[in-house]
Amino acid sequence: MLDIHQILKQLPHRYPILLVDRVLSVEKGKTIKALKNVSINEPYFMGHFPHRPVMPGVLMLEAMAQAAALLAFDTLGVTPDDKTVYYFAGIDGARFKRPVEPGDQLIMDVSLERMKAGIFKFKGVTRVGEEVACEAELMCTMRTIA
């Protein structure tokens, strides 16, 4: 379990793009379960959509990728520094099953499918309660920047 203070030490993201509030469980090299509390105060709700606020699907994918990064760091036993970035390398099979609205709590279950030549492949499912909101296969890679 990681609280927000521990997450801030691992991920370089900050407001308004940090999309993981807590890690509920992690099984090294296998799975992570994380949560994101969705609040009406999120900046994207002003424009998406003012009459019916809905969390953009791409941000659900980003939230899963941030959880995946935390799983990758735990798996490798590393804490990234300012010279390390974790990038998307691909997204496959993204499906959006229900809208996510203010007041919802996203529970992200991400499993590491494989790790080869610095490319990580994950399967992610995000739920609100028992309902699937989003699912996708994510490919990510870590890079060192100058």
Residues annotated as catalytic are 48
Q: Rounded to whole angstroms, how far apart are CA atoms 123 and 146? A: 30
Pick from 146, 84, 75: which is nearest to 115 by CA?
75
Pick from 118, 9, 132, 22: which is nearest to 67 by CA?
22
- Determine the Cα angle at 135 with ends 102 and 7, to 5°: 65
